[in-house]
């Protein structure tokens, strides 16, 4: 990264054919072309810790500010506008585009799942489990939003009208983090402490698959163009098939610590690496 202390966190494919990512420590939004050319755009609010990022329905990118209690919008030309979040919806972390055309996000401090209409209005719904430790959120194949609870050790489901259901994992302290919809019609998630990849059906049936590595610490997961799920792990990029077969592909660069993962417009896997302060690409 041009800014060494950048700490790239989340990454998403943009509508312009580039990849966009958040730089938590540098307080910037970054853009990288598929050829590896990087641009950076400072967020107006200082020390706001930009975190999650996703493509919106309006041709822009939207991101969360973990300590700034805001959601930001950035155009593909780099123009940023920020929206202050109301009431209890604080500490926003995950963000995704919902089936209703709104942006949905998780609030770690207020323990709420919220939504933002691209025009600016915001609403939120309290999660029943107190101090659930909300993490990531994704749109499911059933028209609902699904999210992970690191402290609550549950996978949550929220309808667009705000009805929330929660599904507990079989074992405590799993360390839930990333979650993504798979091509098989289920939701897939990672257990960073449990060292497993989990699958949950839209009706709440959970199946877990152990990762065959002693030092495993999976972080995020994404659905690939090949019908499999791809995830970041300690020193590797992992692949899991819909039937649960796992393969790990080691990263050769020393000091790596892969975080978020996305599928680029070039059909390859792109990921953030906070350990080497870099953006990585893996060809499929």
Burial class (CB in 10 A: 0-12, 13-18, 19+), 245: exposed
What is the average per-residue pLDDT within 51-62? 97
**Is the per-residue pLDDT at 88 higher than 80?**
no
pLDDT at 121 over 90: no
Task: For 65-87, write each residue's pLDDT tens digit.
Answer: 999 889 999 999 999 999 988 76
Mean pLDDT of 191-210: 98
Residues 93/104, Cβ–Cβ less than 8 Å:
no
What pLDDT is stored for residue 85 in this prediction? 87
Q: Provide mean pLDDT across the span 215-243.
A: 97
Residue 284 to residue 126: CA distance in whole angstroms: 40
- Mean pLDDT to the nearest integer, 218-223: 98
Closest CA to 233 of 248, 218, 254: 218
What is the residue whose two structure tokens read 């309006």?
58
Domains and CATH numbers, the chain: 4-279 (2.130.10.10)
């Amino acid at each position: 990264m041009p800014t060494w202390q950048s700490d790239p966190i989340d990454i998403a494919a943009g509508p312009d054919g580039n990849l966009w990512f958040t730089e938590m420590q540098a307080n910037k939004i970054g853009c990288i072309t598929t050829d590896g050319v990087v641009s950076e755009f400072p967020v107006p609010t200082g020390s706001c810790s930009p975190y999650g990022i996703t493509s919106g329905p309006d041709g822009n990118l939207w991101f969360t500010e973990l300590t700034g209690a805001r959601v930001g919008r950035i155009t593909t030309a780099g123009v940023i506008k920020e929206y202050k979040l109301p009431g209890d919806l604080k500490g926003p972390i995950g963000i995704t585009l919902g089936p209703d055309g709104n942006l949905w996000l998780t609030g770690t401090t207020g323990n709420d799942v919220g939504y933002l209409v691209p025009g600016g209005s915001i609403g939120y719904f309290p999660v029943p489990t107190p101090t659930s430790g909300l993490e990531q959120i994704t749109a499911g194949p059933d028209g609902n939003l699904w999210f992970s609870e690191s402290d609550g050790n549950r996978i949550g489901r929220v309808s667009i009208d705000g009805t929330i259901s929660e599904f507990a994992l079989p074992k405590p302290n799993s360390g839930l983090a990333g979650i993504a919809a798979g091509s098989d019609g289920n939701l897939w998630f990672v257990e960073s402490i449990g060292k497993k990849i989990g699958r949950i059906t839209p009706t709440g049936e959970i199946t877990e698959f152990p990762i065959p590595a002693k030092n495993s610490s999976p972080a995020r997961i994404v659905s690939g163009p090949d019908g499999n799920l791809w995830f970041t792990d300690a020193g590797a990029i992992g692949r899991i098939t819909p039937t649960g077969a796992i393969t790990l592909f080691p990263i050769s660069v020393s000091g790596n610590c892969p975080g978020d993962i996305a599928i680029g417009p070039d059909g390859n896997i792109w990921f953030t690496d906070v350990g080497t302060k870099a953006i990585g690409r893996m060809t499929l």
